[in-house]
Amino acid sequence: MSTTTLDPVERMLDAAEKGITLIKNREILHFTYIPEMIFHRDTEQALVTQSLMPILKKSRPSNLLVYGKPGTGKTLVVKKILSKIQARVEKSKFPIKLVYVNSKEETTLYQLLVSFGRQLGLDEKEIPSTGLAISEVFKRLLKTIDRNHLNAVFVIDEIDYLADLVKKTGKDILYQLTRANDRLKKGSLTFVGISNDLTFKERLDPRVLSTLGEEEVVFATYSVEQIKKILEARIEQAFVKGAVEDSALNLCSALAGREHGDVRRAIDLLRVAGEIAEREQKTSINENHIRLARNKIEENKEVTALQSFPLHEKLLIIAIMKTTELTTGVIYTAYKGICKTVRQPELTQRRVTQMLSEIELSGIISGRIIHQGIHGNTKKYKLTITRETVKETFKNDLTFEDIL
Ligand SMILES: Nc1ncnc2c1ncn2[C@@H]1O[C@H](COP(=O)(O)OP(=O)(O)O)[C@@H](O)[C@H]1O
Ligand SMILES: [Mg+2]
C-alpha cells in the first residue's frame, strides 16, 4: 500500500482522478450557460424579436413586458435575441445600445441605474457609484442617450425585485422611468421588463403598466415531454454517455413538470444527482439519486431561508418550534419568554402578528384561520419544515445557545 492512500485527502483526490466521472462538462449545467439549441420556444422567440426589430431600422421599439413562471426560458430567449441583434449592430455601427441588468442582483435602484450607465460607457466621474440623487443619475443617462443620438434598449430582468427597490424610493420613479422616452429629443429609450410573477401586473400602478406593457409576450409552461427533450440535449453535452438512466430522466422531468415546468430546477436536480452518484462511484445516475438530490436542494433552500431572517423572526420561529398550542396568542407568550432568556427587548403583539404573516410568505410556516365563535377569529401556525432543520441551522449561533 502506498503511503498516499492513507491520507484521507490524498485518497479522495486519488479517487477523483482515477474514479468514475459522470459529469464531463459542469459549466453546461450552470444556469447562465446559453445552449446552442432552444427548444419549444419558436413562437416566443419570434414575438420578442418582432417587438425589438424596429431598432434595426433606427426607430423606437415599443416597451415590452415578458412574463412567465420561473425556469421557462425567458432570460435565455431574451439574452439570445439581444446578442443576435448586438452582433448585427456591431457590423453596421448604428448608434444602438442594448443593455441588460437583473434587479435581483442590484441592491438599490441607484445601483441598477449605475449599471445601465456603465454599460453605456459612462465612468465613475460621469456617474459616481454613490452620492447623486436618483433623478440626477437618470438625467445623466438620458443626456448621454440624447447627445449620442442613441437608440437604447434597457432590459430589466426579474423586474419584480425592482418594484421592491422602488417601494423604498417612491413609486413615481418607476413612472418616470417608463415615460423616459418622452423626454428624449434625438435618441430613444425602450424598456423590456421580464417578470417571473404572473401577478406582477396587478401590483403595478396602472399608469406604469400602460407604458411598460405596450407589448406583452407570455411564456407558457413546458409540458413534461418538452422538459424531457430539453434535458436530453443538455445531458448529451454535460454527461458522459449512458450516465443518466432513462428512469432518472423521466423522474426528473416529471418532478419539474409538477413544479410548473421549471427547467432550471430540472437541470439543478441532474447536476446534484450527478454529484451524488459520482461520490458513490456509481456508473450511472438512477431514480434514487434524483430523489436524494431533491431532498438536498429542498433542505438547502430551507436553511438559506432560515439564515436570512432577522433576529426576531428567528426567535419567533424558535417559539413556534417549541410550543404545541400554536395560536397567535400562545406563540406570542412563548416568544416573550424566549426574549427574556436571550435578553432581547420584546416587540409588540401587533408587530409579531405582522411578522408571522411575513414568515408565512416564505413558506417556512403555514397558517390557517380558526373561528372561535363569539371570540372572533385567530390564526394557528405550524412549521412546514422539520425541527431538526431549525436546530441544525441555528445551533452555531451563540445567541440561541440557551433556547434550542
Ligand atoms: N427551451 C429551452 N431550451 C434549452 N434550454 C432551456 C430552455 N428553456 C429553459 N432552458 C434552460 O433552463 C434554465 C432556466 O431558463 P431561464 O431562461 O433562466 O428561465 P427564466 O428566466 O424563465 O426563469 C436555463 O439553464 C436555460 O438554459
Ligand atoms: Mg430569468
Asked if 339 and 346 count as a contact pair (C-beta separation under 8 A), the reply is yes
Indicate whether 93 and 194 sit together in one domain: yes
Same domain membership, residue 227 and residue 215 = no
pLDDT at 162: 82
Domain boundary among 249, 274, 305: 305
pTM over 0.85: no
Ligand nearest to the CA of 69: 1
Is 284 in contact with 342 (CB distance < 8 Å)?
Answer: no
Q: Total domain count for the chain?
A: 3
Question: Do 153 and 127 share a structural domain?
Answer: yes
User: How much is the pLDDT for 169?
Assistant: 63
- Reported as type and span, the H/E element at residue 25 is none
β-pairing, 215-219 with 365-371? unpaired
Please check whether residues 76 and 196 belong to one and the same domain: yes
The reply to whether 22 falls in a domain is no
Say how many C-beta atoms besides its own lie within 10 A of residue 198's C-beta: 11
CB-proximal residues (5 Å) to ion ligand 2:
75
pLDDT value of residue 89: 87
- Please check whether residue 249 is in contact with residue 264, taking contact to mean a CB–CB distance below 8 angstroms: no
Give residue 72 CA to ligand 2 midpoint distance, Å. Answer: 8
Q: Is residue 9 part of a domain?
A: no
The pLDDT of residue 1 = 47
Sign of CA dihedral 286, 288, 293, 294: positive
CA-nearest residue for atom 25, ligand 1, is 31
In the listed set 305, 325, 343, which residue is the last one of a domain according to the structure?
305
| 8 A C-beta contact, residue 156 and residue 103 | yes
- Ligand having the closest approach to the CA of 105: 2
Give the CATH number of the domain where residue 267 resides: 1.10.8.60
Ligand 1: nearest atom to the Cα of 34: 27
Domain annotation covers residue 134: yes
Ligand 2 center–CA 28 separation, angstroms: 17
pLDDT of residue 170: 61
Domain stop point among 305, 333, 355: 305
Mutate to test the pocket of ligand 1, among 37, 232, 263, 270 (most ligand atoms within 8 A of CB): 263
For residue 13, being part of any structural domain is answered with no
HSE-up (13 A, CA, CB side) for residue 213: 17
Distances (CA, A) of 262 to 109, 231, 288: 28, 11, 20
Indicate if 175 and 321 belong to the same structural domain: no
32 CA closest ligand 1 atom index: 25
From the CA of 159, which ligand is nearest?
Answer: 2
Q: Kindly state whether residues 332 and 387 are assigned to the same domain.
A: yes
Q: Which domain holds residue 114?
A: 42-219
Give, in order, the Cα–Cα distances in Å from 59 to each of 53, 118, 176, 268, 362: 9, 24, 21, 41, 43
> 203 with 349, same domain?
no
323 and 279, same domain (yes or no): no
**Closest Cα to residue 193, out of 163, 149, 150, 151?**
163
Give 166 Cα–ligand 2 centroid separation in angstroms. Answer: 20
Q: What is the pLDDT along the chain (404 residues), one digit of tens a residue?
A: 445 567 888 887 887 788 889 999 999 999 889 998 999 999 999 999 999 999 988 889 999 999 999 999 999 999 999 999 998 888 877 789 999 999 989 888 899 999 999 999 999 999 999 999 988 999 999 999 999 999 999 999 999 888 777 766 666 777 888 888 888 999 999 999 999 988 888 878 888 888 888 899 999 999 999 999 999 999 999 999 999 999 999 999 999 999 888 999 999 999 999 999 999 999 999 999 999 999 999 999 999 999 999 999 999 999 999 988 789 999 999 999 999 999 999 999 999 999 999 999 888 999 998 888 887 888 899 999 999 999 999 998 989 988 88
Identify the three-state secondary structure at position 261. coil
Q: What CATH number did the domain enclosing 326 receive?
A: 1.10.10.10
> For residues 37 and 233, is the Cβ–Cβ distance under 8 A?
yes
Domain shared by 234 and 313, yes or no: no
Residues 87 and 102 occupy one common structural domain: yes
Q: What is the largest CA-CA distance in the chain?
A: 79
The Å distance, Cα 30 to ligand 1 centre, comes to 10
Decide if 338 contacts 346 (C-beta within 8 A): no
Centre of ligand 1 to C-alpha 191, Å, is 22
Phi, psi of 157 (to 5 degrees): -85, 155
Q: Residue 64's domain is classified under what CATH number?
A: 3.40.50.300
Q: Is residue 11 part of a domain?
A: no
214 and 111 inside one domain = yes
In this structure, the answer to whether residues 340 and 376 fall within a common structural domain is yes
Measured distance CA(178)–CA(180) in Å, rounded:
5
Phi-psi region of 121 (alpha: psi -120 to 50; beta: other; left: phi over 0): left
